[in-house]
A and B are shown apart, each in its own frame.
Chain A
Amino acid sequence: MTTQILFIVWRESVEALLVIGILNAWITHNAAYSAGRRYLWGGVLAGLAVAVVLAYGLLEASAVMSGESLEYFQTALVLAAAGLIVQMVFWMRKHGRQLKRELQHGVESAAQTGRWWTVTVLAAIAVAREGSETVVFLYGMFAAGPGVSTTTVALASAAGFALALLTYAVLQLGGRVLSWRLFFSVTEALLLLLACALVTTGVGNLASLGLIPYMEPVWDTSFLIDDMSRIGGIIASLTGYRAMPDPATVLVWVVYWGGVALLFRLGRSRGKVSEAAPATAASQ
């Protein structure tokens, strides 16, 4: 029982803390980004508020929550979050290169403010998605009555959350200790994998909602990693891994990673152009 509580709380919070931790480390790294911190934590608070509202709906079993509209809502959330993550990653890549120049010019463009709202929305979605489930889960545990000791629940959930916080702390430390290039590459990869997981889930939801058909799995790798096991489930939710993917899932992976590769390529050639012609780039 205790392990189960610890595990659920850890699992449900680690994804959000990963997103928040990486964004915060990126913001901390550059003085020019310090304005972004407000937007980030504003998003976290907004996400918590949404989580509580969603949880209330789930507990009250409101018609909206038990129907399929919730599933449509969640699908919209994951797909939006995936898009925002990819956008954020490539903005950071490009910006990291230009930052020095912009700092020298002392400009904080208006476009930047718009960008920070992306951070807010991203943090809010990350917290709201898993947060509502944690609230319902814990509410159930605390309300369970004499069978379950309140102290046990409180301790186990605190331990689970502390474990997840450790992820956050490691990210902050990594941002300071590791070389920035290495840290950025690693965290960028983590976020791109997470976005892949979100798109995979989102498109899976479309099948669940009947918008695209369920199809036969193309292959079965459950003997390697079973996505319905504990570890496999975590890997699936952080990377988009599926043991028995159907053609739609495989197509999502191909299109997603193909698109990411293309953006990398575009970014690289653009980077070269702007390095070769700094005057043009600075006059934007």
Chain B
Amino acid sequence: MTHPLRISGSAISGLLAAALFGAALVAPLPAAADEMKTFDMELKDGVITPQKLEVEAGTTFKIIVRNTGTTAAEFESLRLRKEKVVGPGVTSFVVIRRLSPGTYKFYDEFHMDMESANGVIIAK
């Protein structure tokens, strides 16, 4: 008796390898940065500035995340499906696309015991 799962074993491994290499080779996408609204956000050892961003619902925007602290930070929001680790002194970014109106919480997970490490994005 041949089990379908067994046949698919090598096929899955092959696909997996292809996916890994593919993903590793994808160059950073030249996100249409010109048209995109950009916000600056500073993470500093558990202090997020600003803690409230107001954006227009349905637009795509970019948040430049600068870690100016001495410890690592992680910009995280389950509702935004974002998880970005930012080492000390490192600047990175997240692109958020077409939010429906609402309030989206986020925090610096590596400092989430601090009140100042929490923020909201309000899409109107």
Binding site for B on A (CB under 8 A): 3-4, 8, 58-59, 61, 63-69, 72-73, 75-77, 79-80, 83-84, 87, 90-91, 94, 111, 114-115, 117-118, 121, 132-133, 136-137, 139-141, 143-145, 147-148, 201, 204-205, 207-208, 210, 213-216, 227-228, 230, 233, 236, 242-244, 270, 273-274, 280-281, 284
> Across the interface, do B100 and A214 meet the contact criterion of CB distance under 8 Å?
yes
> Across the interface, do A280 and B87 meet the contact criterion of CB distance under 8 Å?
no
> Across the interface, do A114 and B16 meet the contact criterion of CB distance under 8 Å?
no
Binding site for A on B (CB under 8 A): 1-3, 5-6, 8-10, 12-13, 15-16, 19-20, 22-24, 26-29, 31, 45, 60, 70-74, 77-82, 85-88, 90-93, 95-100, 102, 105, 107, 109-113
> Across the interface, do B113 and A114 meet the contact criterion of CB distance under 8 Å?
no
Give the chain B neighbours of A114 by CB distance below 8 A: 9-10, 13
Secondary structure class of chain B's binding surface, majority of residues:
mixed
Interface contacts (Cβ under 8 Å), in number, total 155
Q: How far is the CA of A77 from the CA of B15 in the complex (A)?
A: 12
A-B contact pairs, 15 of them (CB 8 A): A4-B112, A4-B113, A59-B90, A61-B90, A114-B13, A118-B12, A133-B74, A136-B87, A140-B87, A210-B95, A228-B77, A228-B107, A233-B78, A270-B1, A281-B1
Taking A84-B12, A284-B2 as contacts, is the C-beta distance between A207 and B111 under 8 angstroms?
no
> Across the interface, do B112 and A68 meet the contact criterion of CB distance under 8 Å?
no
Give the chain A neighbours of B112 by CB distance below 8 A: 4, 230
> Across the interface, do B71 and A140 meet the contact criterion of CB distance under 8 Å?
yes
Q: How far is the CA of A3 from the CA of B113 in the complex (A)?
A: 9
Listed from nearest, the 9 A-B pairs whose CB atoms lie closest are: A67-B28, A140-B72, A204-B81, A73-B23, A208-B81, A59-B87, A61-B90, A66-B92, A76-B19
> Across the interface, do A87 and B8 meet the contact criterion of CB distance under 8 Å?
yes
> Across the interface, do A141 and B23 meet the contact criterion of CB distance under 8 Å?
no
Q: How far is the CA of A163 from the CA of B82 in the complex (A)?
A: 27
Q: How far is the CA of A90 from the CA of B5 in the complex (A)?
A: 8
Min CB distance B4 to A, Å, is 9
Q: A76-B23, A140-B73, A210-B98 are in contact. List 20 more A-B contacts (CB 8 A).
A: A4-B110, A58-B87, A59-B90, A64-B28, A66-B90, A69-B24, A69-B26, A76-B19, A79-B19, A87-B9, A91-B6, A117-B13, A118-B13, A136-B87, A144-B45, A144-B88, A210-B97, A213-B98, A236-B78, A244-B79
